[in-house]
Amino acid sequence: MNLVPDTDSILYQPCQEFDFTNPPFDAKEFAQQLYQQMTHHNGLGLSANQVGVPYRIFAIRIDADPLVVFNPKIVDQSENEILLDEGCLSFPLLYMKIKRPDWVRLRFQTHDGETHTEKYGGMTARVILHEYDHMDGITFKTRASKFALDRATRKQMILKRAHKKANIEFFKRQRLNGTTEIVPQVVQTWYEKDE
Ligand SMILES: [Zn+2]
């Protein structure tokens, strides 16, 4: 299981429902693998199509707990929208402020086919809404204004260059420290300078 490149058409097509009566693969095993991939890449969320699997499944971390949802449906969400920074494992080093509802009520199935409905707020709601878009073949790039996307793309290029310079050593240390922040400090400074 690997991340597909951002040019892969699977990222831009709606995903299929996972049929628990005739499962295309073992749901529990896949849930574990998807969550592992997410933590391996230090992500807050990861959708199945990002690893080349065209089903409506995504993994998130709620506090420290793993949650992998199948066939999610947003049944309610706040009218109030807030701007928050987002990144995406499919678009490394691209960070943009995106406006989305600040809470969401989600109905989903777990790997055993059981249906749950839960309300989520804060960063969890944000990650859910981002991953939910992936289910429909929508990436956060389409949610950003052209201005914000152009600006973030320029910064992404700067970050990529800075990465090559600052490189690896910092990442290694961060991995060892077990932090989830993936922007090395050196690079972060460059990023801020560009403001
Ligand atoms: Zn994403």
> Binning pLDDT at 50, 70 and 90, where does residue 194 land?
very low
Q: Is the dihedral of CA 3, 135, 62, 31 positive or negative?
A: negative
**Which pLDDT does position 190 carry in this prediction?**
38
Q: What is the pLDDT of residue 185?
A: 41
**13-22, 99-108, 120-129, 161-170: which range is least confident on average?**
161-170
Q: Cα(45) to centroid of ligand 1, in Å?
A: 7
Q: Is the pLDDT of residue 78 over 50?
A: yes
**Mean pLDDT value across residues 23-40:** 96
Output the average pLDDT for the chain: 88
Average pLDDT estimate for 123-134: 96
Choosing from 17, 81, 131, 195, which is the catalytic residue? 131
Rounded distance from Cα 179 to ligand 1 centre (Å): 20
Task: Give percent above pLDDT 90 in the chain.
Answer: 76
**SS3 (DSSP) at 182:** coil
Distance 163 CA to ligand 1 centre (A): 21
Sequence spans of domains, the chain: 9-144, 149-194
Indicate if the pLDDT at residue 86 is higher than 80: yes
8-state DSSP, 120? E
Distance from the alpha carbon of residue 42 to the mean position of ligand 1, in angstroms: 13
Instruction: List, for residues 33-57, the tens digit of each pLDDT value.
Output: 999 999 999 899 999 999 999 999 9
Tokens 């969401």 locate to 104
pLDDT grade for 64, boundaries at 50, 70 and 90: confident
Model confidence band, residue 108 (pLDDT cutoffs 50, 70, 90): very high
Q: How far apart are the first and last CA of the chain?
A: 36
Q: Is a pLDDT exceeding 80 seen at residue 189?
A: no
pTM of the entire predicted model:
0.83
Q: What is the pLDDT of residue 170?
A: 64
118 flagged as catalytic: no
User: What are the backbone angles phi and psi of residue 17, rounded to the nearest 5°?
Assistant: -65, 145
Tell me which of 3.90.45.10, 3.30.470.20, 3.40.50.720, 3.40.50.300 is the CATH number of domain 9-144.
Answer: 3.90.45.10
Token pair, residue 5, equals 């490149």
